[in-house]
Structure 1
């Protein structure tokens, strides 16, 4: 045990009337919503990188946090793990997520990186035997080290491609050993800065080959988890190849991977792409590639990815509405890809940020469930498309031709008039629940 969270109690559900900061006011893990425990719906995960590796820096200033494990080598990595699992227990978090670089010190070469990772994975495994917290997903950091400044799978240097592939192999092994339910590929620099030095065709082919190797290795070792790609449009690269859900799907379809890989959707990335979070979720569910979510928010004044904890219940609710409508999570969950602000220096800030976010998500889930169970929105949606249930409409889709349809329009005197989309009424219905 460490003393990092000394004096902070384990959080319990006390209800909305409680004035206790160190309690859940809306998140009751055992409350049944639509026939399932709230904990099993939401499947919360703590992000190792933001919670334990983030130093409080921003583009204009460096480290503000003073954590006892910073710069501590392997001993520091183990101390960080001790603190992490203490926090998981305080929150009752069912899952966590990590990059390799978050959990192990950087070695001099690939062999040392691998030894360091394997040592900390064994340390995790021992801790997980005494904790309820499981691994939602693991991933490889293929963007921070300077070797990846021009990408990993899309790097013009085949040796960097090889180093990245070898690193992913070790991270899949780690995820598999720890019983992870997913493996994520985030191409933080899989894109370009300028077309003057970029071969788009070659980079697409190389990235596809990389993904095929990941899928092949998953099956070779018997990893039953889901492979996920996390879309992002830009930042740090000027343009990234995994721009949004539709772009990712087109890429997967082009290279025959659409049945093997799904998406992990982040709220902040959706906004950067010019979409809403719920749009990206709905698009993924409609395409059959929805997997998991990274829950956070951006500061809408900043225009960049600020990775703040969610605090907007209506915004969260509409996202969970799309998830519940599609049947809920399977192997995925709600990962808090969010970090406390660089002025939030105290250990309790880390606990309270997660507690507040879990409450916000609980409120959003319950609102979404109530709206879905009410059925008014879905009934209105069905009514709007009811004309397509008529026999002639079905025949038009199945075997219609332009000349045949034109003849029917003339024969039947079809002269349709537009009908109201009733958006304001539907928004009023939605607002009854949020």
Structure 2
């Protein structure tokens, strides 16, 4: 045991407690026939919790952590503290990038050896604690070698380096029993078209993703391959802009049955969408996988990755997830970080605990809305006209036949209310 979290004990569900506790997250509470823990499938993110130093675009490090350094001793201490936090929070899962868990080596081989040593430590700690791996991924955006992207880089040596890195990370994820593997193209885009070959870069990205999928099957990895969309920042435009854009990309390369989406709330907002829109779109296209739960500051134009605190927003997101059947291999990963002024170890626990309660409240509201059935009944009523034999037959007609039905005076549509305010009032009964 380390002394980083002092005397903090594992949190428990106790709505009346005057100590730090869960007020709404009760892992064993049953909703729609399933335990709350099994609905939410919480995961803690290694990067923001243990690797982020507290900087922003206008200022550097504010956090002082005993494991901040470039030695393997630092990395081992970081792992000790991380698994202590997972136990305090009782989260069933965690997620990591390779660069989060080990210091960069002088060569690729040295970095790989360091990565392997820490993943061996993870395996021991996972067996001891019961904590599981929701997903692993590779950081292909922070190092200066990735300044022009990874799979889309104009330099083929960077493409090769990136492929080798993903292979190592996918091997480790497989060995640790990870339930998914995520590819996030943090710099897969461009800053100016003046030096960019769009056709070549997207073709190379498609080939990269294809060989990752092929390798997944070769090693027998049963988890899902997930892509995480984001529209911009730091690039001017990223090729994985949103769910719809990524689906078109997957169709182009014949990967729509192989790859699903890891959808982040903050990225959805940056793309001009709501979180629930991106989830609903992925469900409709059959590519929903997992979520990164966070939020942006709506008064800032960049990805602030704050812990969620808006129950109505969260409820609408979980409504779409539950309506689609819930998570399978995916879950709720807190891709969220403390504010730069939240310096204390207790802040890290409180941030996660509060976010877990917000998600629990949102999930309970979403489940209640589904059980009530009013929203779905009103939706069915709006489309009821399509259930008639004539309407269904029209879908098999050619354009001239449809036009003739209108010309004969058999069709004279009258607008009907969308009833949006009434629907919003229904939602407000629950949140």
- TM-score, normalisation: structure 1: 0.98
Shift of 1:303: 1.4
Shift of 1:236: 1.1
The residue aligned with 1:280 is: 278
> Which residue, 386, 410, 424 being the options, matches 1:413?
410
Equivalent runs, 1:22-421 vs 2, <5 Å = 22-397=20-395, 399-421=396-418
| Structure-1 separation of matches of 2:411 and 2:297 | 50
1:316-361 Cα shifts (integer Å, max 9, x gaps) = 0000000000000000000000000110000000000000000000
| Structure-1 separation of matches of 2:66 and 2:102 | 15
Shift of 1:72: 4.4
The residue aligned with 2:18 is: 19
Unaligned 5+ runs, structure 2? none
Partner SS state of residue 183, structure 1: strand
Shift of 1:408: 1.8
The residue aligned with 1:432 is: 429
Partner SS state of residue 408, structure 2: helix
1:14-39 Cα shifts (integer Å, max 9, x gaps) = 02x3332x100000000001100000
| Structure-1 separation of matches of 2:250 and 2:394 | 30
Partner SS state of residue 292, structure 1: strand
- TM-score, normalisation: structure 2: 0.99
| Structure-2 separation of matches of 1:103 and 1:123 | 11
Partner SS state of residue 129, structure 1: helix
The residue aligned with 2:5 is: 5
Q: May I ask how many residue pairs the two structures share in their alignment?
A: 431
Runs of 4+ in structure 1 displaced over 4 angstroms? Answer: none
| Structure-2 separation of matches of 1:82 and 1:262 | 32
Shift of 1:401: 1.4
1:358-394 Cα shifts (integer Å, max 9, x gaps) = 0000000000000000000000000000000100110
Partner SS state of residue 284, structure 2: helix
Unaligned 5+ runs, structure 1? none
| Structure-2 separation of matches of 1:202 and 1:319 | 36
Partner SS state of residue 432, structure 1: helix
| Structure-1 separation of matches of 2:146 and 2:402 | 56
Partner SS state of residue 294, structure 2: coil
| Structure-1 separation of matches of 2:194 and 2:407 | 55
1:200-243 Cα shifts (integer Å, max 9, x gaps) = 00001100000011000000000000000000000111100000
